[in-house]
Structure 1
Amino acid sequence: MITYEWLYILTGGFFLVWSLLSARDAKWGNAAFWGLLSASFLFGSHLSDFANGVLVLALVGIAGLGLLKRSDPATTTLEERQAHSGRLGNRLFLPALIVPLTAVAGTLLYNYTPLSESGLLAERRETLILFSLGTLIALTAAMLWLRPPVLAAAEEGRRLLDSIGWAGILPQMLAALGAVFALAGVGDIIGGIAGEIIPDGSIFLTVVVFALGMALFTMIMGNAFAAFPVMAAAIGIPLLVEGYGGNPAVIGAVGMLAGFCGTLMTPMAANFNIVPAALLELKDQNAVIRQQVGTALPLWVCNVVIIYVGAFLLWT
């Protein structure tokens, strides 16, 4: 059976390659950072909590000391890229389409045919596994079609990853932080406060507080995946699902979208908002956020309406 562990090994393998390439170019800070991250994926499931914590602190130390540097490895030349662009045009995007196609079509094919009885893929993990498979297929197809140098994909991946730096793993770190907050009982504390403020029987107001909490916590923590465990434990599950009998699928899915509205408006989501401004060399590091606020606010209002209508009015 193919499980998440297979994906961890695959991801760890990619980071290991980037670490070795960085070491080859004597970029020791990059090599250490991506090497430790590789170890997290390859061996994290087999290490103690203390050892994983030390590993994370080491990653923070390397990033905090500014030891991560940009790289510019030699891959294809500018002339070769322009030639490919002129000759192939938008067809260059075809390999990228393989990824979502494999994920969607593969999931439907697996779940609604006798293939599901084979037990080949871990239950409820099919889409992510097939998404990863689609990535490998797309990479292979692009290599066979365009015939770049053997290490071109690895080197380009390293160049992009080094340009983003530590912010590239920020979602993973913040998602883990959300789980820590939930285990620490932060959700229970917020739920107690919300229960005293929100009038009994006010479903719509509870939905508003839940969606608002998702957006605000996301703005504070930088990631909706970090905010969700806290707000689900505080309001989503005890009040909206168990208390008022709402549809948990709608509350969970659209609640995450409400959190993503907060992502659009916070510098804490550095990998989404600050890194692009840096890569584009914009004078205002908050320029991306300013452009997104006009989308985030009305989208948040729509999410509130969708939760209220979809999880309660249509569900009951």
Structure 2
Amino acid sequence: MLKVEHVYWLIGAFLLIAAGMNVRQRRWSMAAFWFVLSGAFLLGDLVQLATAAGVRWPAQAMGLGVVALGLLAASGTMQTKTAGEEERRESASRLGNRLFAPALAIPLVTLAIVLGAPYLRWGEASLIDGAHLTLASLGLACLVALAFALRTTRSTLPQSLAEGRRLLDTLGCVALLPMLLATLGSVFAATGVGDAIAALVEMLIPTDSRLACLAAFAFGMVLFTVIMGNAFAAFPVMMAGIGLPLLVLRHGAEPAALGAIGMLTGYCGTLLTPMAANFNIVPAVLLELSDQYGVIRAQIPTALALLAVNLALMWFLVFR
């Protein structure tokens, strides 16, 4: 059975390879960064088991590793390395739009595997872990896309690993940001941030007003998405603090409409923040734009227009 742990192990193995390649080139800080990060993917299950058994030092060692990652990222010694301009132009002119095929294969193959998972069985056993079906399917789709990319570019697996390492080095510590942000929403919810927001909102706005509560929810979704870089992380916090207690329970808002449009409203914040690194910073780095925040500046009018439209939609649809 393909489990999500197998995907993590594969990522950890690639990070180890990237660290080894950097060691050969004497890029010690970059090598140390990927080596430490690989431990989280390769040893995460063992750390969890040790913690459950009452052995605390593996988790403490992992915490020291996180501190080490922060120090390496802040040291300024993780220099990037990009391909030459002439090499990029030659490759682009040779391959053209065929380069998009492997990238498009990832979502298409993921969708096909998720939809076909009930039929992917060996006797009575499922071939893919149903508990983490989407993540396991995504990992398998990436392997299919890799094979497709090797065929399209007529490259070899060692070449693909070297280019993958170069791309990873180009991103540097930015590659880690989406993973950190993914945990932020659950951390905020577990620490009672939603309750604190509810108390703060009741102090600052007239909670008997539907419009005031709705505006607080919408702008709160945008603000927390700007802070966290991810509307999924902001959603549980804002629903716990404003959506459920004030809009749904007090003013009778329709939960489905509030959740759907509220999530879309949070994405307006995604367009405005460098914390959404995979959307706004990574493209600027890969395209070597002169303005690191050029993508965000171009998206500001769209974000504000969408916010106004979403506010109107919520007002007319949530309280029907």
How far apart are 1:240 and its partner, in Å? 4.5
How far apart are 1:6 and its partner, in Å? 2.4
Selected match of 1:217 from 224, 239, 248? 224
C-alpha distance in 2 between matches for 1:64 and 1:281: 21
> 2:7 maps to which residue?
7
Change in CA separation of 1:73 and 1:154 when aligned onto 2, cut-off 3 Å:
farther
Change in CA separation of 1:8 and 1:283 when aligned onto 2, cut-off 3 Å:
closer
How far apart are 1:189 and its partner, in Å? 0.5
> 1:69 maps to which residue?
79
Q: Which amino acid aligns with 2:271?
A: L
Which runs of 5 or more residues in structure 2 are unaligned?
52-58
C-alpha distance in 2 between matches for 1:106 and 1:135: 12
- Does the 8 Å contact 2:261/2:313 carry over to 1? yes
How far apart are 1:299 and its partner, in Å? 1.6
Of the structure 1 ranges 42-51 and 59-68, higher mean CA displacement relative to structure 2 is found in 42-51
3-state secondary structure, aligned to 1:151:
helix
Change in CA separation of 1:41 and 1:238 when aligned onto 2, cut-off 3 Å:
farther
Asked whether 1:59 is paired with 2:69, we answer yes
3-state secondary structure, aligned to 1:125:
helix
How far apart are 1:279 and its partner, in Å? 5.0
- Does the 8 Å contact 2:207/2:246 carry over to 1? no
How far apart are 1:297 and its partner, in Å? 1.2
Cα deviation, 1:97-117, whole Å, max 9, x if unaligned, reads 221111222222235x58698
> 1:161 maps to which residue?
168
> 1:170 maps to which residue?
177
- Does the 8 Å contact 1:267/1:286 carry over to 2? yes
- Does the 8 Å contact 1:71/1:158 carry over to 2? no
How far apart are 1:35 and its partner, in Å? 1.2
How far apart are 1:64 and its partner, in Å? 0.6
3-state secondary structure, aligned to 2:157:
coil
TM-score computed with the length of structure 1 as normaliser: 0.82
Asked whether 1:287 is paired with 2:294, we answer yes
Alignment: residue pair count: 307
C-alpha distance in 2 between matches for 1:129 and 1:6: 8
> 2:40 maps to which residue?
40
C-alpha distance in 2 between matches for 1:249 and 1:7: 33
Taking every aligned residue pair, what percent have the same amino acid on both sides? Answer: 45
- Does the 8 Å contact 2:82/2:170 carry over to 1? no
Change in CA separation of 1:258 and 1:78 when aligned onto 2, cut-off 3 Å:
closer
> 1:25 maps to which residue?
25
How far apart are 1:296 and its partner, in Å? 0.7
Change in CA separation of 1:144 and 1:268 when aligned onto 2, cut-off 3 Å:
closer
C-alpha distance in 2 between matches for 1:307 and 1:114: 41
Q: Which amino acid aligns with 1:160?
A: L
Change in CA separation of 1:250 and 1:131 when aligned onto 2, cut-off 3 Å:
farther
Q: Which amino acid aligns with 1:134?
A: A
How far apart are 1:281 and its partner, in Å? 4.9
Q: Which amino acid aligns with 1:142?
A: A
Q: Which amino acid aligns with 1:91?
A: R
Cα deviation, 1:168-206, whole Å, max 9, x if unaligned, reads 11121123233322222221100122245343472x543
Change in CA separation of 1:140 and 1:167 when aligned onto 2, cut-off 3 Å:
same
Asked whether 1:179 is paired with 2:186, we answer yes
Which runs of 5 or more residues in structure 1 are unaligned?
none
